[in-house]
Amino acid sequence: WERLCLIEFSHVSKTYPNGTHALYDVSLKVQKGEFVFIVGSSGAGKSTLLKLITCEEKADGGRLRVNGRDLLHIKRRAVPYLRRTMGMVFQDFRLIPTMTVFENVAFAMHIVGASNREIRKRVPYMLGLVDLQDKQKCHPAELSGGEQQRVGLARALVNNPDLILADEPTGNIDPALSFEIVDLLSEINLRGTTVVMVTHEHNLVKHFQKRIVEIHDGRIVADTNGLEAAQ
């Protein structure tokens, strides 16, 4: 059973050096294959939660396991290997403006040591999955926000991660296209990748009946599955 657990927070707190208590006594389990929305107002602690999962920040105490690793005691040199099991999607896309769409996705493979042959085969496949096969030679500035985020998704997925962490991925996209991005994340999830998505867009959360974890002032105040939430 434990092997099915991808993320486990147990009584985790996080205080920043300036004394801000960002998370307080958080316990949360995410099983392999789940799709979880993390919701809550600005300053609630959502980004901090993601940063603990990626080891950008360290928890004060408690127990935090991600993909079989104990993040309170992980060695610094093990962190890059942990991150290779995750794909990140950002609100501001974070594409490299001087690179083409193909090169942006290829770069993510290149830095983990993939061969050119693998890259030539895999990148077009990934761009096909997000329906951007015709835009491979474009630069990010030539794309709409929704298209840029689809490149971001292809890049996050190209190394076949166990987990996608998306921090407000639809925050800079037209509402109509936001549904498209979450649809894609949902499809990716159905193929077996666990998805954790931070958002404060109620329409999205209501539409896609998934698990919803609500954070308020650094504490989890609600954790419901999609069906309960719809009632």
By CB under 6 A, residue 81 contacts ligand ADP: no
Rounded to a whole number of angstroms, the minimum distance from the CB of residue 44 to ligand ADP is 4
| For ligand ADP, the closer CB: 59 or 119 | 59
Rounded to a whole number of angstroms, the minimum distance from the CB of residue 199 to ligand ADP is 11
Question: x/- site string to ligand ADP, residues 1 to 40, per CB under 6 A?
Answer: ---------------x-x-x-x-----------------x
Applying CB under 6 A, among 7, 34, 45, 193 the residue interacting with ligand ADP is: 45
By CB under 6 A, residue 43 contacts ligand ADP: yes
Count of residues that bind ligand ADP according to CB under 6 A: 12
| For ligand ADP, the closer CB: 154 or 198 | 198
By CB under 6 A, residue 165 contacts ligand ADP: no
| For ligand ADP, the closer CB: 79 or 99 | 79
Go through the chain and tell me how many residues it has.
231
Rounded to a whole number of angstroms, the minimum distance from the CB of residue 211 to ligand ADP is 18
What is the per-residue DSSP string for the chain? -GGGEEEEEEEEEEE-TTS-EEEEEEEEEEETT-EEEEE--TTSSHHHHHHHHTTSS--SEEEEEETTEETTS--GGGHHHHHTTEEEEETT----TTS-HHHHHHHHHHTTT--HHHHHHHHHHHHHHTT-GGGTT--GGGS-HHHHHHHHHHHHHTT--SEEEEESTTTTS-HHHHHHHHHHHHHHHHTT-EEEEE---HHHHHHS--EEEEEETTEEEEEE-HHHHH-
By CB under 6 A, residue 44 contacts ligand ADP: yes
Residues that bind ligand ADP (CB under 6 A): 16, 18, 20, 22, 40, 42-48
